[in-house]
Amino acid sequence: MKQIDQWVRPNIRQLKPYSSARNEFSGEASVWLDANESPFNAPYNRYPDPLQTTLKNRLARQRGVRPDQIFLGVGSDEAIDLLYRIFCEPGKNNAVSIVPTYGMYKVCADINGVEYREVPLHDDFSLDVEALEAAVDSDSRLLFLCSPNNPTGNAFPAGEIERLITAFDGIVVVDEAYIDFSSHPSWLRRLDEFPNLVVLQTFSKAWGSAGVRLGMAFASPSVIGYYNKVKYPYNISAPVQRYALDLLDREGEVRSWVDEILTVRALFIERLEELPVVVKIYPTDANFVLVRMDNAPAIYEWLVAEGIVVRNRSSVALCGNCLRITVGAAGEMDILMEALRRYSQSVKL
């Protein structure tokens, strides 16, 4: 059994967290005179539940986990940043991840003064498990795996991820921001097997709520306890908590959104294959498609001039001449395809 405490920074282990007025009371009350709040402008005059108890209970039922296995953050980025604060001593410990992948892992490492080691994927975007294991040393505390990966779109085999979770003497973070679009099962179902596993999910993608900024980290109660120890007291506002509760009641509608995106994605890939400017379309388990073009920078500029914004990933490792294209509504994809056809015709002239 891996002991989480051994990897936690000593000052965090010894930290006495801030105790808010709402932390110190549980139950029902009719008069609130404990937190220097205004008596006017209800319900926004009251501080929110610092541990989001009602929302976590509802989310636990929906995801098949326990409430004490959930941390809620301001987007997944807060959950990522706090992992560095909990486990990585600046100037001493390091984090390991793949490249290309989600850029905030490195940004958070740089902000926290933590060495960040990048291990390239193979040319087909598969994991180089041996290279990842070789990059680890006794000061490695975090290992980030985005699966399905951004910007490549592919999910990694469960056997390879399990090998890394089992072998790594630290916290393995599996970022499942795009799991709702994938045929691969979530690692949430195996959370109890691995005390060093943290699974990240988000309301931003399939749940259509990027503007709300609500991310989730699922982990052992020990890890969640440290999350709650170091987070800001009222990190999730009351309106966001209410919004999320309402959204969880619309799960069937959300599933229909996902189904529509997958249908549009399949049709979009078929149409892309007909374009002469398309060199390669990479397999995807996400709500985006990575496409290698014959001249991605020129196509990107053409689309911008047409009022269409995609992501030019040409400067990212292994993604030369690649555009990452989000799967939008059917009408938006029609507009994009028409613009790409016009570009293809223009380069023939």
Does 1 score more than 60 pLDDT?
no
Summarize pLDDT for 142-160 with one digit per residue, the tens.
999 999 999 999 999 999 9
Does 23 score more than 80 pLDDT?
no
Structural domain spans, the chain: 4-249, 252-348
Q: What confidence tier does 173 reach under pLDDT thresholds 50, 70, 90?
A: very high
Handedness of CA 174, 156, 106, 324 (dihedral sign): negative
Burial 95-133 (b: 16+ CB within 10 A, else e): bbbbbbbbebbbebbeebebbbbebebeeebebebeebe
Cis peptide before 195 (omega within 30 of 0): no
Summarize pLDDT for 52-71 with one digit per residue, the tens.
999 999 999 999 999 999 99
Query: What does the pLDDT read at residue 29?
Result: 83
Q: How far is CA 158 from CA 83, 97, 109, 164, 328, in A?
A: 23, 17, 26, 10, 29
Across 28-37, average pLDDT: 88
Query: What does the pLDDT read at residue 2?
Result: 67
Across 254-271, average pLDDT: 98
Q: What confidence tier does 43 reach under pLDDT thresholds 50, 70, 90?
A: very high
Fold of 252-348: Aspartate Aminotransferase, domain 1 (3.90.1150)
Does 19 score more than 90 pLDDT?
no
Q: How far is CA 86 from CA 5, 6, 15, 56, 93, in A?
A: 10, 11, 11, 22, 11
Across 166-193, average pLDDT: 97
Across 118-134, average pLDDT: 98
Q: What is the pTM of this model?
A: 0.96
- When the candidates are 3.40.1160.10, 3.40.50.150, 3.20.20.450, 3.40.640.10, the CATH number that belongs to 4-249 is 3.40.640.10
Query: What does the pLDDT read at residue 344?
Result: 96
